[in-house]
Amino acid sequence: MLKLRIITAIISLVILLAVLFVVPAMVAEIIIFIVPLVGAWEWSGFLGFKSNNMRYGYVFVIAALMAFTTSVLGEYSSQVLQVACVWWSVAFIWTFFFPTAIPVMFRWICGALVLVPLFVALFELYALSSQFLLLALIIVWAADMGAYFAGTYFGRVKLAPSISPGKTWEGVFGGLAMVVPLAFVWAHYADREILVILPFCLAVGALSVVGDLTVSMFKRTAGVKDSGKLFPGHGGVLDRVDSIAAAAPLFALGITCLGLL
């Protein structure tokens, strides 16, 4: 299984780098638009729909909201990102009270709160610089890999057993430890204050854990292990972007508000 995960990760990374640095900008923007829509299809599986037509309807709703945020609310994108940060703060508190009943309509709304700001953040970061978007992803990946290996070898204290029994506090701290050298490298090469960069990167890494746990709550409620099967060994799109969905809005908001461009 680990070998399959590594092969899938390498292939995915090559495709991602091609999207960010090789293909024309219009093609990259289309792909950035499509990724949350695939996530919306997978999220519709959490809603108990009886037909694919209803699932397509949910994807259409998310697509309309994404288009609305870029065409009508484009100048207010920072407010959309602020709403996302509030949502993820609420989701963090929510994880302490799970299991809780989640009405279907609320699952609809939560899907929009996860996917629409994800699109806005990815779109904004790509518009600023492909390097910034890649940096945001690297921070999340570092936190995820550090958590995986630290949790595997040192994990003892469960983080949220009712949501994700495999995650541990040792894994969380191991993931954050992996983020620290990235912060120092960024601060050095960008000539920025490490006292600003380090806590910012740690906050992004920590919030990525909240994204993972939150999506896992909805998967638990729907009674599914993975959101899909698009990535062999990894699951679906939501399984790959859950952490990014929480971290990217904070990263996009932070680099503009903190003057880190």
In tens, the pLDDT along 160-188 reads: 999 998 899 999 999 999 999 999 999 99
Please state the rounded mean pLDDT for residues 68-75. 79
Alpha-carbon gap, residue 182 to 205, rounded angstroms: 11
Domains of the chain: total: 1
164 neighbors 216 (Cβ within 8 angstroms): yes
Find residue 164's DSSP bridge partners: 160
Q: Read off the tokens for 66.
A: 């994404």
Q: Give the pLDDT confidence score for residue 58 in this predicted structure.
A: 95
Banded model confidence at residue 229, pLDDT cuts 50, 70, 90:
confident
Query: Would you tell me how many other CB atoms lie within 10 Å of the CB of residue 232?
Result: 12
Q: Give the pLDDT band (50/70/90) at residue 71.
A: confident
What would the two tokens of residue 214 be? 């939150």
Residue 52 has pLDDT above 60, yes or no: yes
195: exposed, middle or buried (Cβ count in 10 Å: 0-12, 13-18, 19+): exposed
Instruction: Residue 242: name the closest of 129, 111, 134, 130 by CA.
Output: 111
Question: Does position 136 have pLDDT exceeding 60, yes or no?
Answer: yes
C-alpha 192/C-alpha 18 separation (Å) is 29
Structural domain span for residue 11: 2-257
Instruction: List Cβ neighbours of 13 (8 Å cut-off, separation of 6 or more).
Output: none
Over residues 196-202, the mean pLDDT reads 94
Structure tokens at 47: 């809603």
Question: Does position 231 have pLDDT exceeding 70, yes or no?
Answer: no
Mean pLDDT on 134-141: 95
pTM of the model: 0.93
